[in-house]
Structures are given as structure tokens and as C-alpha cells.
């Protein structure tokens, strides 16, 4: 099986071949910490968390880096608005972000550097760019990257023309009056006396947004990354700027072999963002829904596909996830009820697990297609429920099933959550009235010798966490 990834740089799905054997240097742009993170951030970091975990599962040695932007114009403006010290504010929201990620099952990066801890590294990189003629200093003490020096790379990632970028740059590129060319971007910005700043050869100031990611990714990863990731909204100008300045600084091409971008999370088909004011913070959503539901809602969509957010969509995700959890519960129940001194029989579970694992890997190898991969788990669950009902698997086989679910959970992390008891519960399952109705329908099917229909009803009950037992006294049922 061959792992393939979609590369924004080439607009093609390519075989994944790291630059150095099985080592993968992977960098994902982290948050600017001026407020609590919203669900759009969760979409990005959960998506790349799964990608990272799957790479590890497939035998790669992943060095995962994701930064914290703790000084930025947005941080400064927010601090002024709240009348807080900007460093205190960014520290507070950094911890808020880390706590949100922990609740959502996102593993911490191997390295999570902060901008404020790398000012000297950033200054040295800017000096390199000035010395090789790809950056210039203005009378105001600002430093810009001279885009004319790598003009052939303009649009390399966004796949837009220079004219198109110039036409749309007003809303995406800072417009200052002291730069040579409209698309030139700032590397170092002079600071007012009441703003955070550090001394530099060009005066007191602070880093521009783009330079920090180049510096920290090259310091903790490599001058040539295997994967650079982030949201689609970062393609231009942020990621293109990184390509220009990184390759000019190191002299090496490409800066990243594969560029991966997750799709937007929208509300009524409009991108969720703080600037548009149409966002829900992760904390707000966690008050209504369990963390496992939120993570499943995101993972059960291919990472490049847009997700439209609504409470109804989250409720549907919760019910779908519950079907998977019910199967696990059914297996655990069957394991408790199966005696140790059983006669060992082969119910075919081991072969089913091997078949499902191969199908899961085949889906994930196609650009991390979690939607299709989880679909294989639903099929697997239905077949497992049927085998438990009809073939009474051995304890060893049931343990294989639980081990397989644990193996999958190491990648997706959609099962093992300590749900918030105050959050809205996922589907509580069928009402007693509906259960009895289904049992009566099953009994009718059995009397008519429609065994397929009877089995289908029993499987549906199992998927909803209902175990039924046929006895001389009639049918007994219980929730699990």
C-alpha cells in the first residue's frame, strides 16, 4: 500500500516520499493568542493531529512543530481594548488554547515554540536577508522582503497571477506607505513607545507575522520541511511569504516538499472567523456537546472538505459516534458473559479484523480519507454485532476486537473520552416503547421464518445498545 497526499503546491495527489528516509519534519502554523480559540481552530488542529498520528502508525518518525504567535498586532489591539498587559493577555490565551486542545484529544506538538522566545533568531534571519539583498530597511525602521527579488515565485502556492494578487491584496496584505512594491511584506515592524518591542539593528520593533514561522520551522525542523500545514486561508499571503523568505534565507529549494491545507468550517456557508464575528469558541461548544462528539464531527469529514457547522449536525455526529461506541460496549458485555472454559470455535473474527484493517489503511492512504475509513468501521461494527448474536465468539476473539478498536483509536481518538456530564448527552437510544415494538416485529418475522429480517432487527437493537436474550420465558432485553 502506498500513502498519497494532496499537495497544494502542485495541485496533485502525490506519493508521499519524505526527504530523508522515514523521518518526517512537519510544521503546522499555530494560533495567534489574542482570544479564546473557536471551532475553526479545532478543525485545523484535530485534522493535523490525525494526520500526524497516522504517519506514526505507518512507521514514520514524525517531528511535529507548531508555534504560538504571542506577539502580533491583534494581540496588541486586544490588550488595549481590555486594558491589559499584552504579555499577560497572550499568556492567558495560550493556556486557554492548550487546555482546549487537551480536552479535544489533540496531542501536544513535539516542539511548541513562542515568538517572544525567538526574537534573536528572527533578527539574525532578517539580517541574512538584508545582507543577501532580498530585504530592505526603510527610514521608519521597518524591514520588508523585496518581492521583486523572487518575482518568479509569486503565486507559486496560491496559483494566482500577479495581477490577481495585486487586485485582491488590499484586504490580505498590510498596506504601508514606505514599501517599494504593493506585495512586499513586512519582516520587522517598528514599535511605538507604548507597544511591545525589542531592540534591533534597525531600531526598536517587533517581528512581522510571516518571518516567525520560517525561523522556528527551520530551527526545530529543517531548512527543507517534508510537510507544512495550515488552514486554506493561510495559503496567501502567509504561506507564500514563507516560501519566499525561507528559500532566500537558506538558499535551498523547496522550503517544503508537501503543502497541506484543511478546509474551512463554515456557518451557513460562510467561513467561521473572529474578524467576521460569526464564531463559536471551543469552550462555548463544549458547554453543549461532549468533546468526543466535537472531535468525531470534525474527523468524520475529509480534512480538505468544508464542514458546515450547526447544532443539528453535531447532534447527528453524536448519534453516529454512539453507534460505534455501542458496538464496543456490546463486545465488552459479551466478553464478561463468555466463560473462560469455553470450547474454542472460529467465528471468523480474526479474518474480519484483518480485512477491515486493510480497508481502513487503504482509505487513509488516499490522502487521509477519514470519512471513508470510518465508514469501514461502521460496516465492521454491524458484522461484529451479528457475530456476537449468532456465533457466540470465543473470549480470545472478543479481545482481538477490543485490541483492534484500541489500535484505531490511537489514530483517530474518537472513542475514549471522559465526557462532560453537564454537556448535552448524545443520543440516549431507543425508547422502551420503540424497543418493544421492534421485539414484536422480530418475533413476527421469526414466526414467518423470515430469518434475515429477524437478524436485521436484532442487529439494529445491538447497535443502539440493546441486548436481547431468547429464553423459555420469552424475550428479555437490557440496555448496556
Same domain, 35 and 116: yes
d(CA 217, CA 210): 12
pLDDT at 406 over 50: yes
d(CA 87, CA 100): 20
CA atoms in the 13 A half-sphere facing the CB of 122 = 26
Mean pLDDT over all residues of the chain?
A: 91
Domain that holds residue 228: 18-136+148-158+205-286
Q: Where are the beta strands (DSSP E) in 284-358?
A: 307-308
Same domain, 114 and 212: yes
Cis peptide before 201 (omega within 30 of 0): no
Same domain, 102 and 214: yes
Q: Which residues pair with 188 in a beta bridge?
A: 143, 207
The answer to the question of residue 154 being in a domain is yes
> Is there a contact between 123 and 131 (Cβ–Cβ < 8 Å)?
no
Q: Provide the grid cell at 46.
A: 484535530
Q: Which residues pair with 266 in a beta bridge?
A: 271, 308
Same domain, 348 and 408: yes
Q: Provide the grid cell at 238.
A: 502567509
The answer to the question of residue 177 being in a domain is no
Q: Looking at residue 24, which CATH number applies to its domain?
A: 3.40.50.620
Percent of the chain with pLDDT over 70: 91
Interval 173-183: pLDDT, tens: 555 679 999 99
pLDDT at 476 over 80: no
> Is there a contact between 220 and 186 (Cβ–Cβ < 8 Å)?
no
Interval 70-92: pLDDT, tens: 999 999 999 999 999 999 999 99
436485521: which residue's cell? 456
pLDDT grade, residue 417 (50/70/90)? low
DSSP annotation of 426? P
Give me the pLDDT at residue 367, please. Answer: 98
Same domain, 224 and 331: no
Same domain, 319 and 225: no
Same domain, 464 and 324: no
Same domain, 243 and 366: no
pLDDT grade, residue 403 (50/70/90)? very high
Same domain, 405 and 460: no
What CA–CA distances, in Å, run from 92 to 15, 16, 34, 40?
A: 41, 38, 9, 20
Q: Where are the beta strands (DSSP E) in 201-291?
A: 205-207, 225-231, 256-262, 265-267, 270-271
Give me the pLDDT at residue 428, please. Answer: 47
Interval 93-118: pLDDT, tens: 999 999 999 999 999 999 999 999 99
Q: Which residues pair with 227 in a beta bridge?
A: 26, 258
**Beta strands 135-137 and 143-145, pairing class:** antiparallel
The answer to the question of residue 297 being in a domain is no
The answer to the question of residue 422 being in a domain is no
H/E stretch holding 13: strand 12-15
Q: What distance lies between CA 247 and its chain's CA centroid?
A: 27
Looking at 358, 380, 412, which one is the last position of a domain? Answer: 412
Q: Domain total for the chain? A: 3
Q: Looking at residue 402, which CATH number applies to its domain?
A: 1.20.120.640
Interval 278-289: pLDDT, tens: 779 999 999 999
State the average pLDDT over residues 204-219: 97
Task: Count the residues in the chain.
Answer: 480
Looking at 270, 286, 302, which one is the last position of a domain? Answer: 286
Same domain, 212 and 98: yes
Same domain, 83 and 121: yes
The answer to the question of residue 418 being in a domain is no
What CA–CA distances, in Å, run from 201 to 47, 103, 132, 206, 422?
A: 40, 43, 16, 12, 54
Give me the pLDDT at residue 423, please. Answer: 46
Give the global pTM: 0.87
The answer to the question of residue 187 being in a domain is no
The answer to the question of residue 331 being in a domain is yes
Looking at 286, 321, 354, which one is the last position of a domain? Answer: 286
Interval 6-20: pLDDT, tens: 999 999 999 999 999
Cis peptide before 272 (omega within 30 of 0): no
Closest by CA to 328, choosing from 422, 407, 391, 390, is 407
Q: Provide the grid cell at 469.
A: 436474550
Same domain, 244 and 391: no
Comparing 149-163, 268-282, 314-328, which segment has the lowest mean pLDDT?
Answer: 268-282
Interval 12-53: pLDDT, tens: 999 999 999 999 999 999 999 999 999 999 999 999 999 999
Closest by CA to 184, choosing from 126, 128, 244, 235, is 244
Interval 230-256: pLDDT, tens: 999 999 999 999 999 999 999 999 999
**R_g of the chain, CA atoms, integer Å:** 27
> Is there a contact between 104 and 62 (Cβ–Cβ < 8 Å)?
no
The answer to the question of residue 371 being in a domain is yes
Amino acid at each position: 500500500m502506498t500513502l498519497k497526499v494532496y499537495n497544494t503546491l502542485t495541485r496533485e495527489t502525490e506519493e508521499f516520499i519524505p526527504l530523508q528516509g522515514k523521518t518526517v519534519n512537519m510544521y503546522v502554523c499555530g494560533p495567534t493568542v489574542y482570544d479564546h480559540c473557536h471551532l475553526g481552530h479545532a478543525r485545523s488542529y484535530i485534522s493535523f493531529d490525525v494526520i500526524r498520528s497516522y504517519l506514526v502508525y505507518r512507521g514514520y518518525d514524525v517531528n511535529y512543530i507548531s508555534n504560538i504567535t504571542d506577539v502580533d498586532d491583534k494581540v496588541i489591539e486586544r490588550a488595549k481594548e481590555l486594558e491589559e498587559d499584552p504579555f499577560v493577555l497572550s499568556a492567558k490565551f495560550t493556556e486557554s488554547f492548550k487546555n482546549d486542545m487537551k480536552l479535544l484529544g489533540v496531542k501536544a506538538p513535539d516542539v511548541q515554540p513562542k515568538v517572544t522566545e525567538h526574537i534573536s533568531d528572527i533578527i539574525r534571519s532578517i539580517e541574512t536577508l538584508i545582507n543577501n539583498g532580498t530585504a530592505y530597511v526603510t527610514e521608519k525602521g521597518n524591514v520588508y522582503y523585496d518581492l521583486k527579488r523572487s518575482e518568479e515565485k509569486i503565486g507559486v502556492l496560491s496559483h494566482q497571477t500577479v495581477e490577481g494578487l495585486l487586485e485582491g491584496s488590499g484586504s490580505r496584505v498590510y498596506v504601508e506607505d514606505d514599501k517599494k512594491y504593493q506585495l512586499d511584506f513586512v519582516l520587522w515592524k517598528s514599535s511605538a513607545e507604548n507597544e511591545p518591542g525589542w531592540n534591533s539593528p534597525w531600531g526598536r520593533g517587533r517581528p512581522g507575522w510571516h518571518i516567525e514561522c520560517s525561523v522556528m520551522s527551520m530551527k526545530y525542523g529543517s531548512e527543507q520541511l517534508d510537510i507544512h500545514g495550515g488552514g486554506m486561508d493561510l495559503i496567501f499571503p502567509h504561506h507564500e511569504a514563507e516560501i519566499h523568505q525561507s528559500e532566500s534565507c537558506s538558499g535551498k529549494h523547496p522550503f517544503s516538499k508537501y503543502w497541506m491545507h484543511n478546509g474551512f468550517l463554515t456557518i451557513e456557508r460562510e467561513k467561521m472567523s473572529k474578524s467576521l464575528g460569526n464564531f463559536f469558541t471551543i469552550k462555548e461548544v463544549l458547554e453543549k456537546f461532549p468533546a468526543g462528539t466535537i472531535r468525531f464531527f470534525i474527523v468524520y469529514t475529509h480534512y480538505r472538505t468544508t464542514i458546515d457547522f450547526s447544532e443539528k449536525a453535531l447532534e447527528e455526529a453524536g448519534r453516529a459516534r454512539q453507534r460505534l461506541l455501542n458496538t464496543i460496549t456490546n463486545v465488552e458485555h459479551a466478553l464478561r458473559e463468555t466463560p473462560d472454559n469455553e470450547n474454542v470455535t472460529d467465528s471468523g473474527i480474526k479474518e474480519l479484523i484483518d480485512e477491515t484493517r486493510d480497508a481502513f489503511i487503504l482509505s487513509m492512504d488516499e490522502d487521509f480519507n477519514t470519512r471513508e475509513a470510518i465508514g469501514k468501521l461502521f460496516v465492521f461494527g454491524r458484522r461484529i454485532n451479528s457475530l456476537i448474536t449468532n456465533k457466540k465468539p470465543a473470549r480470545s476473539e472478543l479481545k482481538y476486537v477490543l485490541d483492534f478498536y484500541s489500535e484505531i483509536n490511537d489514530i483517530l481518538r474518537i472513542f475514549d473520552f471522559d465526557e462532560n456530564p453537564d454537556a448535552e448527552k448524545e443520543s440516549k437510544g431507543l425508547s422502551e416503547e420503540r424497543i418493544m415494538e421492534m421485539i414484536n416485529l422480530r418475533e413476527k418475522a421469526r414466526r414467518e421464518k423470515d430469518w434475515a429480517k429477524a437478524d436485521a432487527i436484532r442487529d439494529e437493537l445491538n447497535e443502539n445498545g440493546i441486548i436481547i436474550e431468547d429464553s423459555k420465558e420469552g424475550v428479555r432485553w437490557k440496555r448496556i
